Amino acid sequence: MFYFIAKRTIISFFIMLAATTLMYFLTISSGDPFEDLGETSGPEKAATIAARTAAMNLDVPPIPRYFLWLQDVGHCLVPGGISCTLGQDRTGAAVLPQLENAIGSTLRLVVVATVLALVLGVVVGIVTAIRQYSTFDYSVTFISFLLFSLPLFWLSTLLKQYLAIDLNTWLANPQFSYLTIALIGVVAGVVWAIVVGGDRRRRLMVFGIAAVATALALYLLLVTGWFVAPGFGVVGMLVSAAGIAVLWTALLAGFRRRRVLNAALAAAGVSFVGYLVSIPLLSDPNWFLVIVLVVALAVVSYVVAGVVGGPFRAQAAKIGAVIAVSVSLLIVLDRLLQAYPTLSAKAGGRPIPTTGSQSANLEGTFWEINLDYALHLILPTIALTLISFATYTRYTRASQLDVMNQDYIRTARAKGLSERTVLVKHAFRNAMIPITTLMAFDFAGVLGGAVITEQVFGWNGMGKMFVDGIANVDPGPVMAFFLVVGTAAVLFNMLADIAYAFLDPRITLS
Amino acid sequence: MTPHDKNRDDSRASVELSEMTLQSQDTDISTARPTRDQTDRIRTTEAKSQGRLIRERFFRHKGALAGIALLVLIFILAFSSIGFAGLPGWWNKEYDVLAPRFNEGRPTLTLWPFSLGEHPFGQDVLGRDYFALTMRGTQTSLIIAFIVGLVAMVIGTTVGALAGYFRGWTEAFLMRITDVVITIPTVVIAAAVAGIVAKAGIIPFAVFLGVVTWTGLARLVRGEFLSLREKEFVESAKSVGASSFRIIFRHILPNTVGVIIVSTTLAISGAILLETALSYLGLGVVAPDTSLGKAINDNRSALTVRPWLFLWPGAFIIGIALAVNFIGDGLRDAFDPKQTRVKQ
């Protein structure tokens, strides 16, 4: 293992070195760094040329210039040496501070999009594999192909133009006519009927229940003014916590063991008490406090669920911790939603922003600032997620089908295990192994996609650094961007290989 | 299913059964139309070439057939309407001729009753006929995509084949180069140079895009070669003294054709999207040429007032990419039926 990591690190280092060389020479040979000065004249021009020549070392031939840049990067690797700047851009400013400013917003975008796409893609992929050749399977296949074929910038522009602007207008006065509510109910009913499937009677029943429930819920939300001042409220939180407990139990343990269900409900109760206790603590916290509270709640739930679980202690305790973390996420979401009315007022009644990664000069509580981040993330995240989602769904489906054909699945069924155990414990875990590799590749792809998304939505992230750098033939920012992206690609590939060997004992690393 | 339905189904099955029994009774067994049972036996013994099996599986894939139909339709529309390489087309307007704008440049296409009108896709801000412009863009995008696929296929196959067959230093060298290129996201490496290459015209631009997108194919082909070179037929070819060149091209390569075709197809749909993305960033096709991505980029501020300038090229991009993706899926199923088969 250690030998493998050491070997891969050394190889990766040389690959990165070669890749930076390639990238550097491509960048500096891609144009004329003084092109924008072509039409100006006078003493400023000569001064700018002199300043740029000094900042970009243009008086040095290309190959030594590359080594000068490498030297700047080297300063960052050697601790305690000369200060680390990653070189200069063409105005003579150090690149590292710019990168530090840019990297936060880009990473926020990429990580959120990857996680969302992964979760949604895997869930939908598994369901399509289980219900292969159903209407649901065919619809998802078609939608995935459609998403594969969508140009990212085109989709982003459409989202910006239609979704954001119309949604903002609607949020200013959130009302629907009865006809619209009924139509939304019908659409929701059709979707659920397709997802759940079964024979005609069951589909009709699902359709009816889903349609009525959706329409009713929507009506209630509108009447109570939920869209003006959203949040779960105490009752909503209690119901949601119980629902989460039942859901996780159904997925991870099944209902045959009553003690486990009781333990899960106890964990939900603990989490709900935690929610009540945390109300004053969370009025204006910081991330450290939030994380400490989540961990504390998880530990308490772990213990309580373990005690209630009795003979099934280990399983019950794990489910308890999972429920506590899920409810914590819900509490955070609730808090963010509660910050919505004030933030919306501060944004002049147009809460969904179409440009930028955060509002300038926004002052407010922890929740308001984070909700502001979240609202800025909505549109670019939808665009990036939709495109990665297609990949994850297709691969998960193929991988799950592959696993379902294995002999050990037949053995598991033959020895009388419940379908849930077969699917979750035997099939799902093994189907996830190839997805680790996909994630490594996709993450680098999404970083590349962020270049385009940032351009459309006017973010000041790494993608903008790169595009501007290319336009100005300025290798400093371009190479800084590439150092981050390339290192991420190399690192994720190595992690995927290690994870692969860890998850699949048939593979040994050498 | 209600009991009534069930009865009806049973009766239908029995009618079928009795018909078949009748047939096999009153005709000589050797000339009779085979019963279902016999068909199965015949199917398993009938000689079918690999190519025919693949063709049959491909034509069973409805999505792929629809994809082919759509792609052919787009091809014919794009190349016949405004003509190509000096040949005239049936559409009477040029994509680069300015004209006074007719009805604010709105599209005149009506579906029922169907009529194209003066400017079916409308006119752009300068009054150019947008149908001709879109068709011209479609031609360019198709040409670029197919050249990219071809170049990526040739380079990827060569690199993968050499690395997989010769192993040793050749493999180490070629695969490290592949790793270096894979480390740089395609959009990034393409964006770095595309701006310069694109000025030289669309053919150099397309070749360049092919030069940066071959890596995935090289890895796949190498994997195939690694397993095929250990097979007995390669050993027997070696034993009769076949040269390496002959073994690679005559013996191994034909066995990897499935992988190559499938990933080339996917490379083509990727190339369409890459070209449009680069043109959108202003690093792709430059005037006087036009492409679907460039048309969208030129009119991106027009979305609110003239949405058709934005939507038509987008619809064609999606149409082409969707068709190619479905064809690729059909080819994958045809060449590798193991992937979709389920025993339940």
Residue whose pair of structure tokens reads 């739930």 in the numeric block = A301
Average pLDDT over residues B76-80: 86
Residue A225 pLDDT: 83
Residue B342 pLDDT: 42
Residues in chain B within 8 Å Cβ distance of A26? 189, 192-193
CB contact under 8 A, B191 and A466: yes
Residue B88 pLDDT: 73
- Local confidence band at B35 (pLDDT 50, 70, 90 cut-offs): low
My answer on whether omega of the bond before B113 falls inside 30° of 0, hence cis, is yes
B325 in any annotated domain: yes
CB contact under 8 A, A149 and B191: no
C-alpha B189/C-alpha A470 separation (Å) is 11
C-alpha A398/C-alpha A438 separation (Å) is 13
C-alpha A58/C-alpha A46 separation (Å) is 14
CB contact under 8 A, B180 and A467: no
- Which B-chain residues 58-117 have CB contacts (< 8 A) with chain A? 63
Are the C-beta atoms of A27 and A475 separated by less than 8 Å? yes
B3 in any annotated domain: no
Residues in chain B within 8 Å Cβ distance of A413? none
Distance from CA of B128 to the nearest CA of A (A): 22
Nearest Cα to A117, choosing from A337, A435, A448, A487?
A435
Are the C-beta atoms of A108 and A446 separated by less than 8 Å? no
Render each residue's pLDDT in chain A as its tens digit; 510 residues. 788 888 888 988 888 899 899 888 888 887 777 777 777 677 777 788 888 887 887 888 888 888 888 888 877 777 666 677 777 777 777 788 888 888 888 888 888 998 999 999 999 999 898 888 888 888 898 899 898 888 888 888 888 888 888 888 888 888 888 898 999 999 999 998 888 877 889 989 999 999 999 999 999 888 888 888 888 888 888 999 999 999 998 888 888 888 888 899 999 999 999 888 888 888 888 888 889 999 999 999 999 998 888 888 888 899 999 999 999 999 999 888 888 888 888 877 778 887 777 777 777 788 888 888 888 888 889 988 888 888 899 889 888 888 888 899 999 999 998 888 888 888 888 888 888 878 877 777 788 778 888 888 888 888 888 888 888 888 888 888 888 888 888 888 888 888 877 777 777 766
Question: Domain limits at B217?
Answer: 71-101+127-331
B58 in any annotated domain: no
The answer, yes or no, to whether residue B15 has pLDDT greater than 60, is no
pTM confidence score: 0.81
Nearest CA in chain A to B183: A486
CB contact under 8 A, B318 and A153: no
Are the C-beta atoms of A341 and A228 separated by less than 8 Å? yes
Model ipTM value: 0.78
Tokens of B147: 């050249």
Residues in chain A within 8 Å Cβ distance of B344? 404
- Which B-chain residues 162-201 have CB contacts (< 8 A) with chain A? 176, 179-189, 191-193, 195-196
Positive or negative torsion for Cα A24, A25, A31, A36: positive
Residue whose pair of structure tokens reads 């050697």 in the numeric block = A78
Judged by a CB distance cut-off of 8 A, whether residue B15 touches chain A is: no
The answer, yes or no, to whether residue B309 has pLDDT greater than 50, is yes
**Phi, psi angles (nearest 5°) of residue B110:** -125, 140
Q: State chain B's mean pLDDT as an integer.
A: 78
Tokens of A78: 């050697």
C-alpha A358/C-alpha A376 separation (Å) is 6
- What letters, b where the CB count within 10 A reaches 16 and e where it falls short, cover A230-264? bbbeeeebbebbbebbeebbeebbeeebebbbbbb
Closest residue to A151, CB basis, from B185, B304, B314: B314
- Which B-chain residues 211-240 have CB contacts (< 8 A) with chain A? none
Closest residue to A154, CB basis, from B281, B314, B341: B314
Nearest Cα to B186, choosing from B219, B211, B205?
B211
Residues in chain A within 8 Å Cβ distance of B179? 15
Amino acid (1-letter code) at residue A236: G
Nearest CA in chain B to A154: B314
Residues in chain B within 8 Å Cβ distance of A490? 183
Residues in chain B within 8 Å Cβ distance of A131? none
To the nearest 10°, report the CA torsion of A3, A5, A7, A9.
Answer: -150
Residue B47 pLDDT: 73
Among A30, A32, A154, pick the best mutation site for testing chain B contact (most B Cβ within 10 A). A154
* CATH code of B81's domain: 1.10.3720.10
Cα dist. B268→A391, B154, B271, B323, B331 in Å? 17, 13, 5, 11, 14
Judged by a CB distance cut-off of 8 A, whether residue B52 touches chain A is: no
Average pLDDT over residues B280-294: 80
Residue B319 pLDDT: 92
The enclosing H or E element of A33 equals none
Tokens of A325: 């973390």
Residues in chain B within 8 Å Cβ distance of A154? 276, 296, 310, 314, 317
The enclosing H or E element of B140 equals helix B130-166
C-alpha A358/C-alpha A104 separation (Å) is 11
Are the C-beta atoms of B36 and B47 separated by less than 8 Å? no
Nearest CA in chain B to A153: B277
Residue B13 pLDDT: 42
Residue B72 pLDDT: 93
The answer, yes or no, to whether residue B91 has pLDDT greater than 80, is no
The answer, yes or no, to whether residue B180 has pLDDT greater than 90, is no
The answer, yes or no, to whether residue B111 has pLDDT greater than 80, is no
- The percent of residues in chain B predicted with pLDDT above 90, rounded, is 15
Nearest Cα to A183, choosing from A213, A211, A162?
A211
Closest residue to B195, CB basis, from A15, A30, A447: A30
Q: CB under 8 Å to B45, separation ≥6 — which residues?
A: none
B305 in any annotated domain: yes
CB contact under 8 A, A19 and B196: no
Tokens of B303: 């979305």
Residues in chain B within 8 Å Cβ distance of A29? 193, 196
B145 in any annotated domain: yes
Tokens of B280: 């959108």
C-alpha B16/C-alpha A86 separation (Å) is 80
Residues in chain B within 8 Å Cβ distance of A199? 1
CB contact under 8 A, B317 and A154: yes
B134 in any annotated domain: yes
B49 in any annotated domain: no
CB contact under 8 A, A485 and B185: yes
- The percent of residues in chain B predicted with pLDDT above 70, rounded, is 76
The answer, yes or no, to whether residue B110 has pLDDT greater than 70, is no
Nearest Cα to B277, choosing from B209, B196, B197?
B209
Q: Exposure of B238 by Cβ count < 10 A (0-12 exposed, 13-18 middle, 19+ buried)?
A: middle
Number of domains in chain B: 1
Query: In this predicted model, what pLDDT tens digit does every residue of B114-171 receive, in sequence order?
Result: 666 667 777 777 777 888 888 888 998 899 999 999 999 999 999 999 998 988 898 8
B225 in any annotated domain: yes
User: How many residue pairs from chains A and B have C-beta atoms closer than 8 A?
Assistant: 134
Residue B344 pLDDT: 35
> Within a 10 A sphere around the Cβ of A101, how many other Cβ atoms?
13
Closest residue to A145, CB basis, from B303, B304, B326: B326
Residue B7 pLDDT: 42
Nearest Cα to A493, choosing from A2, A11, A3?
A11
Q: Which residues are B129's β-sheet partners? A: B123
